[in-house]
Structure 1
Amino acid sequence: MKCLPTIQAWPFGLLLAWVLAVPAGLSGQTAITAVTTITTDSADTVHEGYTFQNTTVALQTFTTSTGTYALTGMADQVFIRRSSGGTNNAHVWYQTASAAGNRIADHADTFQEVLLDNNFARGVHNLFGNAGSSYANIERVDFISNGGFSATADFAIPVFDFGINPQHESFKIALVTSVDAFGNPTGYSALASTVPFTANNVYNHSTFSIHRYADGDNTTDDYAIFNGPNQGPGGVVFTLDDFDVDPGTTIYGYSLFGYDVTDGGNTNNLLNWNSATYFPTNTSDGEGAAGGFDFSGVNGVFFSAVPEPSTYALAGLVAVASCMVLRRRPRCA
């Protein structure tokens, strides 16, 4: 079931746009302190012997110490780049209603469905670990927007790690500045990164299960399941300054990397994920290690800062929005 834009979202956003203000900028590794979400549900289904409740908890806005950011779009495609050696596994975590109980999210039949998503109820586990026989052998993940878009000064990308509150893992990220006819990256911005960081979880899942698959991107038949308690998504935000990119630059999306990936001073070295010189093949997935990041299922999303209205305008907006909420109901289909 898809939830259509409601009166709470669109008219309020249009009114905010009417009261223009200059948004404050952010720098990399700024922690996300709060989020707003929209939750939708559909009928339960059964996969792999488990009930999936088909709930989506979609991110709409997030807040940092410097302001609030609203969802403006999502990528159209995701490409998973695995190295030529090793195993091709996939590890997916699902929030559960109880230990080893119902899965909250819908079931994903492919790894791509988990990665290009907007749902806090599932995600991926140890995405870039490749130092053993059970690992995913993934070097890079590309989120591509068809045709690209002109980046505004308040453009932002949130990234969420699924971890024990409030400790989270390291990773690297770069904007895609050019692509070929098939959407494959041909140019990158500067490589940005975050060391293991502290950010309070925006949710804390009391229980979860990790499904492991041994058939590449096919996630229909797991070979092992591990259950765990008390983890959740905590996030940081990246803006244009983190990538040395000017407003007005055409952006085609972004790529995620393990923390041990380097470009050797030339971003063209990020293009060949089979180069062990720049993409090490012995990446550990341990806590605090280069491949241990557990991405929450909110990826390929693009945000912009919400202007701050004046005090009088804000009061009026709240009054109008309150009236609208009382008069309208969400429409879902």
Structure 2
Amino acid sequence: MTPRKHLSLVLFLAALCLNAGSQTPINNFSTVSNLTLSGGTSTQSVVSHARSYNSVNPTTGYTVKYNNTSNVNLVDFTMSGKTYIRYKNFDTVILRRVANAWEPTGGNKQMVYCQGPNSIDNGSYQIPMPVGFPVAASSNYMQKVMKDSYLNRGVPNLFLNDSTDDKVYNNIERADFVILSGVSTNDTMFAGFVIAERGGNNSFKMAAITAIDASGNPTAFGKVITVNSWSFGNTLFSMSSVIMRKDVADNTLRPYTHSNSQSVKSLFVRFADLGIHRQQKIYGYALMGTDVTATTSAQLLNVNSNTYFPRTTDANRGGFDLAGTPGVFHTNQVLAGHYLNLNVDVNNCTPVLGWTDPEASQVKEYRIEKSEDQQLFTEISVVRAGSALNFTDKKFTATSFYRVKAVMHDGESYYSTTVMATNRCSMVQISAYPNPARESITVSLGSGSHPSQVSVLSLQGQLVNRVAVSESTEKMQLDISKLNAGGYMISVSYKDQAPVTTAFIKM
């Protein structure tokens, strides 16, 4: 399996409104590339479509190479100071097709776009693509690409169907993304769906699936919302694309057309945006073009109605280039379902982390994260699957918080509980004298301890005075003449360990 390279892409995060009902741009995110897919590496000699265009020659033999080296997956993103991780992918995608008179179906036409070269080489007739071939049962390539969470593959013009010229037109009225077990949460503001689009400039409609039958078909929906194009965030990455097409009579996908570089952008739709309430189970969502007029469950189920689902959807209302759908994301511990239990023991002044995980067989790696304030966590190590589930932090100097992030083979991830380790071995011994004192007090900060500041606090923890000191300071004198009589605390902060305190009495 090809090693995975991490691309940390941090962009400017604008001030965001978090009121329910507004979708949120994703501007601060991490992607993972170099994912290798099972069966994805494939070299195919195929004849292009008879109506190929945009530098793909019609009815021409090409060698298409799915190189399977850079399948791009969204791992997590940060929004308003919170990190969101993947909770679950979709179990199935169902396309609701309705044939126009000009496109009889049979018209189960399959069209997908894949990241490809900047131009088509009509000298060698080779088309290299850095993505995996979407191996799919019954040649359901569109469903496969949409269900997978790889952002450099997708479906062009998902709801476009307004022309007798079927160049890039589909016959799809509704696309259902289904989670068979359903999910629910206590906090609908911090769990939701990531949706990505090539171009990031098309609006669409969306409704939560609130009930399904035994076969996984939706039977009820939440409110229908319109997601506007301006809701998409900054560019995740840009790519040129090759659009591949399979008609009913074809055996596989064939080169069809080429698209110059376009950006891929994403947004976050929270459960609250979709009208979902606390602990209400949701089974995924349905996507539609913006010309759909259906508002009730009965109307949404009636995809054959030309009233609710017009068959004249133009590019402005249906030209949605959906990228692979990354699934359900949530903040740490918002959604239940994983039980990664973490413990820490401090042995000989060194913390040893150990964890248990019932789903270890499905995990690719465990990422160890560390924080000194329980807010900002930094990855410090990676433990590969199959290794012992423990880690020793040999760079332990201060009281620290730890958590473990499990990353599964399909890109889903989840966190452990957070644990704290206190480094009592390296704590500096400080002293203050004379004690009690009236005018001034001398504070011994410790030899070679690298202090940064000295604070005087009330016994209730309120700051009275603070003085910055150089790292080489070992002893200092504080003026306490203006303090009221009573008890106080001196807290000394250090560069590489937790603060140390001592008490004194002002006479």
- Range of TM-score over shorter length: 0.7 to 0.9
**What corresponds to 2:43 in structure 1?**
46
Q: Is the 8 A contact 1:186 1:271 kept in 2?
A: yes
Shift of 1:66: 5.9
Supply the AA of the counterpart residue of 2:318. G
Q: 1:209 aligns with which of 235, 242, 263?
A: 242
For CA contacts below 8 A with separation 6 or more, give which structure has more relative contact order.
1
Q: Does 1:96 align with 2:130?
A: no
Query: For 1:220, which of 252, 258, 265 is the aligned residue?
Result: 252
Question: 1:228: how far off?
Answer: 2.2
The aligned residue for residue 293 of structure 1 is: 320
1:219-258 per-residue CA deviation (whole Å, 9 max, x = no partner) reads: 8232x52212221211111112211110200111111111
Deviations, residues 127-154 of structure 1 (Å, cap 9, x unaligned): 0001124121000111111132223422
Question: Which stretch has the larger CA shift, 179-188 or 105-114?
Answer: 105-114
Amino acid at match of 1:292: G
In the alignment, is residue 106 of structure 1 matched against residue 132 of structure 2? yes
Runs of 4+ in 1 over 6 A off after TM superposition: 330-333
Any residues of structure 2 matched to 1:3-82 within 5 Å, and which?
27-39=21-33, 40-41=35-36, 44-47=41-44, 48=46, 49-54=63-68, 55-65=70-80, 67-82=82-97
CA contact (8 A) 1:29 1:237 kept: yes
* Alignment of 1:190 onto 2:223: yes
Is residue 197–residue 323 contact of structure 2 (8 Å, CA) maintained in 1?
A: yes
Q: More displaced, 178-187 or 194-203?
A: 194-203
The aligned counterpart of 2:299 is 269
Measure how far apart 1:27 and its partner are. 4.6
Instruction: Encode CA deviations 1:83-120: one digit per residue, 9 max, x unaligned.
Output: 14353323211111442341121112422111111101
Change (3 A) 1:3 1:297: farther
Indicate which of 131, 152, 157 corresponds to 1:121: 152
Note the alpha carbon deviations across 1:66-97, whole angstroms, 9 max, x for none: 64311000111111110143533232111114
Question: Structure 1 residue 212: deviation in Å?
Answer: 2.6
The correspondence for 1:179, drawn from 212, 218, 225, is: 212
2:10 paired residue number: none
Between Structure 1 and Structure 2, the one with more strand by share is 2
User: Aligned partners of 1:221 and 1:75: how far apart in 2?
Assistant: 24
- Post-superposition Cα deviations, 1:46-80, rounded to whole Å, max 9, x if no partner, equal 13420001132121112335643110001111111
Q: Is the 8 A contact 1:151 1:251 kept in 2?
A: no
Which residue of the partner structure matches residue 374 of structure 2?
Answer: 313
Deviation at 1:262, TM superposition (A): 1.9
For residues 164-211 of structure 1, the C-alpha deviation after alignment (integer angstroms, 9 at most, x for no partner) is: xxx511001111000111111110000111122253211111x22112
Contact 1:123 1:294 in 2 (8 A): yes
* 1:158 alignment partner, one of 194, 206, 219: 194
- Whichever residue aligns with residue 238 of structure 2, its letter is N
- Determine which structure has the larger helix proportion and give its number: 1
| 1:92 alignment partner, SS class | strand
CA distance in 1, matches of 2:170, 2:251: 12
User: Is the 8 Å Cα contact of residues 118 and 260 (structure 2) preserved in structure 1?
Assistant: no
Alignment coverage as a number of residue pairs:
297
Q: Distance in 1 between matches of 2:197 and 2:148?
A: 14
Report the CA distance shift for 1:329/1:245 in structure 2 as closer, same or farther (over 3 A): closer
Question: Residue 304 of structure 1: which of 319, 330, 344 is its match?
Answer: 330
User: 1:158: how far off?
Assistant: 1.1
Unaligned 5+ runs, structure 1: 5-23
2-structure distance, mates of 1:90, 1:220? 9
- Which whole-Å CA distance do the structure 2 matches of 1:212 and 1:193 have between them? 29
Q: TM-score, normalised by structure 1?
A: 0.80
Please give the alpha-carbon distance, in whole angstroms, between the structure 2 residues aligned to 1:201 and 1:188: 31
* Equivalent position SS for 1:68: strand
| Correspondence for 1:256 | 287
1:12 aligns to what? none
Q: Does 1:199 align with 2:233?
A: yes
Q: Which sections of structure 2, spanning at least 5 residues, go unmatched?
A: 5-17, 47-62, 121-126, 334-369, 387-407, 410-507
Q: Match for residue 416 of structure 2?
A: none
Whole-Å Cα distance in 2 between the matches of residues 112 and 68 of structure 1? 29
Please identify, of 101-110 and 118-127, the stretch whose mean Cα deviation from structure 2 is larger: 101-110
Q: Which has the larger radius of gyration?
A: 2
RMSD, matched Cα: 2.9
